[in-house]
Amino acid sequence: MLIGTHISAAGGLVNAPKNSHAVGGEIFQFFSRSPRGGKAPVITKAVVTDFKTAMKKYQQQECYIHAPYYINLASTNNRIYYGSISVLREELERGSLLGVKYLMTHLGSAKELGEKEALKKVVAGIKKILEDYTGSTQFLIEMSAGAGMIIGDSFEEISLIIKNLKLKNKNSVGVCFDTAHGFASGYDLRDQKAVKKTFDDFDKLIGLKRLKLMHVNDSMVELGSHRDRHQNIGEGKIGHQGFEALVKEPRLENINLILETPDKDKDQLNIKILKDFRNKK
Q: Which sequence positions are flagged as catalytic?
A: 36, 66, 69, 106, 142, 178, 181, 215, 228, 230, 260
User: CB neighbours (10 Å) of residue 170?
Assistant: 11
Is residue 240 a contact partner of residue 193, using CB atoms and an 8 Å limit? no
Instruction: Identify the sign of the CA torsion 87, 89, 90, 96.
Output: positive
Q: What are phi and psi of 174, to 5 degrees?
A: -120, -175
Q: Within 13 Å, how many C-alpha atoms sit on residue 270's CB side? A: 29
Q: Measured between alpha carbons, how far is 153 from 145 in angstroms, rounded to an integer?
A: 5
Q: Measured between alpha carbons, how far is 277 from 3 in angstroms, rounded to an integer?
A: 11
Q: Measured between alpha carbons, how far is 229 from 94 in angstroms, rounded to an integer?
A: 30
Helix (H, G, I), strand (E, B) or coil at 103: strand
CA angle at residue 109 from 107 to 113, to 5 degrees? 120
Helical packing angle, 78-98 and 45-57, nearest 10°: 60
The b/e string for 79-94 (b: 16+ C-beta within 10 A; e otherwise) is ebbebbbebbbebbeb
With CA atoms as reference, report the closest residue to 142 among 211, 209, 200, 89: 211
What residues does 218 pair with on adjacent strands?
231
